[in-house]
Structure 1
Amino acid sequence: MLADVRKIAGLAWPVLIGQLAIVAFGVIDTAMVGRYSALDLAALGLGASIYISVFIGLTGILTALQPIVAQLYGARRYGEIGEEVRQALWLALALAVLGFAILYFPGPLLRIARAPEALSDRTVAYLRILSFGLPASLAFRVYSSLTNAVGQPRLVMILQIGALLLKIPLNTWLIFGGLGIPALGGPGCAFASTAINWTLAIVGMRLLTKLDIFRPFAIFTRFCWPVWQRQIELLKLGIPMGLSYLIEVTSYTFMALFIARFGTTTLAGHQIAGNIGAVLYMTPLSIGIAASTLAAQALGARRYEAARTLSRHGIAMACTIACGYGIIVLALRPLIIAGYTPNPQVTATAMQLVLIVVCYHLFDALQVTTAFVLRAYKVVVVPTVIYAVALWGVGLGGGYLLGFDVGGAIPEWLTGARGFWAANAASLAIAGSGLLLYWRSVSARSVREAAIARTDTVV
């Protein structure tokens, strides 16, 4: 087990640092905008929820490239990897058009929140600026999926750390103004993010042409148009993956839209709790990516028992660390929240919600690592159904019943934003348990089928 843990950790720590750098974008945005105005902080929370839903849903489709390349890499079929990357870039272009339209015209989504006009206007401005950076974000996701699949996550980490170093001064300049630029508030951090996303994409594409690790794949040695059969294969895997991401994130997005009805203070407290949950989420996400990469490479090399063992150890590792994180957050809760806001009303709301985040995170760790190792097996449809039933049905539906006290029999301590967070935690527990049981079945079947195939070959 220790050998597997070291392998997983060796790939997971660069992913974790890179992901934390990206999550720090949101943390920095929240902290800086929170000191600009409560209105802009609420607009940031609302706009970020919508943007993340679109971004995660579309990049989730492109993440299909990772298990495909990892299995090809494990099987040493390097020539096919370049073609898969070229097709993924074409797919990214098509998805960028769709995402741009949603972000530039967010009116239908904002109407669900019933937001005041001032809040709605600031949110629209924020989203329209981000829409111009979406194509670059999707292109960079192709780069990061490829590098993770071939076991080179440090190449992503370095760029993400560099982006964070740019983000801080750009945010300060554009949010609060200076050097001839007026104070822009929330839209200022959107301008900063868009500029950085394009920088990341350009540098990432340049590295694909220069680094030796990518030369065997011959990615840009020739031009090709979309090949529909390969596009279909990407979409068959990518659409369920994108849907599972979308279900997971929209359960949070619609939670934010409904919580907006409780007022700006409650929404701001929810934004802080969500940011803390997002930071914690990066560790199991990184472990899931690492375990999935190693398991997919093992599957490509036809080492099915090794793939199962790596997957199991990755899941156990993530859940153990999640328990430790929960204890730390519980102990340091007042200090953590004080770093986000000086507002006593927002602090009081966030203190209640972060208590629920502690339990929420353990279940989140279980579901995300298990979902990722299932993707290594290219199994995506059943997990998507599990997500839909648990996160939309129990999480969002149950949250609505609790939060708005439908029926009038819900205890007061379980209403409002607390009800939505409690239902979401329960939904993640159900999703994680269902995914774990399904992974055990899938991985055991692959080992049995491999054993039967070896027996038939000998006979």
Structure 2
Amino acid sequence: MKFLRSETIHESKLLLKLAGPIIVGQLGQNLIQLADTLMVGHLGPVALGASAFAGSVYIVFLIFGLGMLAPMTAMFARALGQEDHPRGGILLRHSLLIAGGIGSIITGILFALLPHLHIFGQTPEVLAAGSEFYKVLTWSILPALIYQAYKQFADGLGRTKVAMYVMLVGVLLNIVGNYLLINGYHGFPKLGLVGAAYASLGARTFMMFAMVFYVHAHPQFKKYLVNPWIHSFDKQMLKNMIRLGIPNGFTFFFEVGAFASCAVMMGWFGAVPLAAHQIALSLASTSFMVTLGIGIASSIRVGFELGRGDYKLARHAGFTAIKLGGAYMGLCGLGFLAFRHWFPTFYTNDVDVIAWAAQFFVVVALFEIFDGVQAVAIGALRGMSDTQWPSVIAFFAYWIMGLPGGYLLAFHLGVGPIGIWIGLLIGLIFASILLTYRFHRLSKRFIA
């Protein structure tokens, strides 16, 4: 028992050492959206609701692309565990091809969708304000995915601080850009809501170029980039990466798509509940970024140990990470419950928006622990190159149980807007149980 306890403490330290910079980087990614929400909030509920609507449509497609690239982190880690350094560079080259291809496709889809945004049933004022914001934001898809490919290369090799520093500078640039372009200070044009989109585009473009320069210029990556950069592609490797990436992309899509669909449904109740929804979601997403960092660390640890052939330790690393994620999010849930009337005041002085947000935070407090467990379990499974079943589980949990349940509660059983959040809670409960069980069965099979 003492041995198991010491092993758990040791593994927790390894996970947190890996996860720390990743968490800062993930928080930075979310802080770009959080800064937009905070700095747009003073423009009023319509602008806040418009950014929530446009951002929700945009983020679903971005997340699919990020999900396609996510399994690469574990592949880089496994190559490191096998001490096959040149393979890391080859994997990077192939992941960039995927990032460029899927980024171009997503950008085309988003622009094709632009004239048809009215199908989501938003109020005319929200639709009018959100369309231009959406258009500018769409251009940031490709730089965001190229940055992500390089980030996962560095993360998978254990160089997690690289992307952290790049992201922090990107966040600062985004905040400064928001300040100048939303308000028109110091001779810059006063663009209002659209200014936030331009600031985000500028920050993500900077992050892409900074990451490309760092990886190719720093000596620590030279042993991975030994092959000529212009090199023939391995069709089988590319096929395997896409085979892993597409289901994982759909896993991300199903979860984030469910949250985005909830934002659309919330808009049917009007701009005030939608603005409150955006406030609750932005804070919940910020807490989630820490868990997502733990999930990425679990993917790296599980992938690395599998590369070394230590299946028992890979299982131990996964379950330790799941426990850490659940415990952290449980504490966050208590914080949201205790300060549910205070947190919304960071965004707005509108008493109706604050009242609705406080109600939503009651449900957020309940679902935090389940959200943490499912996020880390997905990461652990990704470390085992298991992406197909998690996508099936995500579809069932969110689109068969969660969304229909929320719709029925909100619109047919008289619960109102909070019913949509209860539906999300239902989906997360199913996802956390099924994904954890999947990791248990699969990791047990590895060591049987």
TM-score normalised by structure 2 residue count: 0.96
Instruction: Quote the residue 1:429 is aligned against.
Output: 429
Higher mean displacement: 104-113 or 22-31: 104-113
Retained in 2: the 8 A contact 1:106–1:124? no
Query: Could you report, residue by residue, the CA deviation over 1:359-408 in whole angstroms, capped at 9, with x for unpaired residues?
Result: 11111001000111001000111111111011111111111111111xxx
* Cα distance, 1:122 vs structure 2: 2.1
Q: Residues 8-407 of structure 1: matches in 2 within 5 Å? A: 8-107=15-114, 110-218=117-225, 221-405=228-412
Partners of 2:232 and 2:259 in 1: CA distance: 37
Partners of 2:51 and 2:166 in 1: CA distance: 25
* Cα distance, 1:227 vs structure 2: 3.6
Change (3 A) 1:366 1:108: farther
Q: How many residues align?
A: 441
Retained in 2: the 8 A contact 1:86–1:219? no
Partners of 2:403 and 2:100 in 1: CA distance: 32
* Cα distance, 1:182 vs structure 2: 3.1
Retained in 1: the 8 A contact 2:272–2:353? yes
Give the partner amino acid of 2:74.
P
Retained in 1: the 8 A contact 2:71–2:383? no
Query: Could you report, residue by residue, the CA deviation over 1:139-186 in whole angstroms, capped at 9, with x for unpaired residues?
Result: 001011111111111111111111111121110111111233332121
Retained in 2: the 8 A contact 1:15–1:153? yes
Give the partner amino acid of 2:134.
L
Partners of 1:283 and 1:170 in 2: CA distance: 25
Give the partner amino acid of 1:52.
I
* Cα distance, 1:312 vs structure 2: 0.9
Retained in 2: the 8 A contact 1:133–1:194? yes
Instruction: Quote the residue 2:440 is aligned against.
Output: 440
Name the SS of the counterpart of 1:218 in structure 2.
coil
Partners of 1:252 and 1:225 in 2: CA distance: 40
Give the partner amino acid of 1:397.
P
Higher mean displacement: 49-58 or 102-111: 102-111
Name the SS of the counterpart of 1:183 in structure 2.
coil
Partners of 1:108 and 1:334 in 2: CA distance: 38
Name the SS of the counterpart of 1:262 in structure 2.
coil
* Cα distance, 1:109 vs structure 2: 6.2
Name the SS of the counterpart of 1:334 in structure 2.
coil
Retained in 2: the 8 A contact 1:51–1:127? yes
Query: Could you report, residue by residue, the CA deviation over 1:406-426 in whole angstroms, capped at 9, with x for unpaired residues?
Result: xxxx2x4xx222111101111
Give the partner amino acid of 2:122.
A
Partners of 1:219 and 1:283 in 2: CA distance: 34
Partners of 2:313 and 2:369 in 1: CA distance: 26
* Cα distance, 1:64 vs structure 2: 2.3
RMSD after superposition: 1.4
* Cα distance, 1:219 vs structure 2: 6.4
Partners of 1:42 and 1:197 in 2: CA distance: 23
Higher mean displacement: 110-119 or 14-23: 110-119
Instruction: Quote the residue 1:457 is aligned against.
Output: none
Retained in 2: the 8 A contact 1:104–1:127? no
After superposing on structure 2, the runs of 4+ consecutive aligned residues of structure 1 that deviate more than 4 Å are none
Retained in 1: the 8 A contact 2:378–2:435? yes
Retained in 2: the 8 A contact 1:43–1:119? yes
TM-score normalised by structure 1 residue count: 0.93
Partners of 1:137 and 1:288 in 2: CA distance: 20
Change (3 A) 1:33 1:330: same
Change (3 A) 1:133 1:219: farther
Partners of 1:41 and 1:428 in 2: CA distance: 26
* Cα distance, 1:244 vs structure 2: 0.1
Give the partner amino acid of 2:257.
T
Q: Percent identity?
A: 27
Retained in 2: the 8 A contact 1:112–1:257? no
Higher mean displacement: 219-228 or 134-143: 219-228
Partners of 1:9 and 1:152 in 2: CA distance: 14
Give the partner amino acid of 2:304.
Q
Higher mean displacement: 203-212 or 372-381: 203-212
Partners of 2:226 and 2:175 in 1: CA distance: 34
Partners of 2:387 and 2:265 in 1: CA distance: 29
* Cα distance, 1:225 vs structure 2: 4.8
Retained in 1: the 8 A contact 2:73–2:299? no
Instruction: Quote the residue 1:452 is aligned against.
Output: none
Retained in 2: the 8 A contact 1:70–1:149? yes
Gaps of 5+ in 2: 1-7
Partners of 2:227 and 2:184 in 1: CA distance: 41
Instruction: Quote the residue 1:419 is aligned against.
Output: 419
Partners of 2:65 and 2:232 in 1: CA distance: 21
Give the partner amino acid of 1:296.
G
